[in-house]
Amino acid sequence: MQKKNCIFAKKTMKYIANIITNSKIDVCEYINVAKNINDVDLQIPTLIIGWGNVKDLYPNANILEKKINDTVSWTYNNREKRQEYEPDLAKFIKTSFNRIDEKIPYTFFNVLTNKLDRIKKLLKYIHSDIIKVFYITEKHIYIYNGKSVTGISLSDLEFYGIKKEKVINYIKQNSHNKLVYSDSFINLKVKRHINENQKVIPYLYALKYNIF
């Protein structure tokens, strides 16, 4: 039990994107808002707000080109060009959430059609030392291992007479498995962005509690 607490100890959360701005801005918790570009991870999508900021950070930036490099882009602030600032900000946030599906591969494991040896491998994987987040809903289980998500239908398991409670008890036996039963850890803003996309829930949980 002590080992489990150590593995899943709460740490500083990770983010899906950054916004660099000198102004207060109301965005969801998965977007990192900072004043200093040196305080953020530039390997994830980053939006710089304000042409003045852009010129300070990237003196050779072109005002006609809002993409600076593969991860960094910019837009005007609401004083410079509000008519561009608001749609650009909304598009950046939407794109950042949509990118989760592109970044995290998803596989549905069909227990009705997969052969016995593959089912045995799945059971071995569940009991392996790989850290995993299990998001358990009424009808599905979504497993995130830091790289990809695997989905399993609980209805399909019940077709074989395997009850949900038995599955959960099996998962609980491994201290490397974190079980999540609700999406209550994310707020309404985030839920609107993911649009009931349940397979990203374990990924968002892992980000919030910096599990990987």
pLDDT digits (tens, 9 = 90+) for 9-20: 556 789 999 999
Compute the mean pLDDT over every residue in the chain, rounded to the nearest whole number.
93
Give the count of domains, the chain: 2
pTM recorded for the entire structure: 0.89
| Segment 71-92 mean pLDDT | 96
Domain stops at, among 59, 81, 103: 103
150 and 80 co-located in one domain: no
pLDDT of res. 1: 40
34 and 112 co-located in one domain: no
Q: What is d(CA 212, CA 210) in angstroms, rounded to the nearest whole number?
A: 6
76 and 142 co-located in one domain: no
List, edge to edge, every strand of the sheet that includes 132-136. Answer: 106-109, 149-153, 140-144, 132-136, 177-180
113 and 77 co-located in one domain: no
Instruction: Report if residue 10 sits inside a domain.
Output: no
Domain stops at, among 103, 135, 158: 103
Domain stops at, among 103, 118, 143: 103
Instruction: Report if residue 153 sits inside a domain.
Output: yes
Reported as a pLDDT band with limits 50, 70 and 90, residue 48 is very high
What phi and psi values does residue 63 have, to the nearest 5 degrees? -65, -20
- Structural domain for 201, as ranges: 106-208
pLDDT of res. 9: 59
pLDDT one-digit tens code per residue, 90-139: 999 999 999 999 999 999 999 999 999 999 999 999 999 999 999 999 99
200 and 115 co-located in one domain: yes
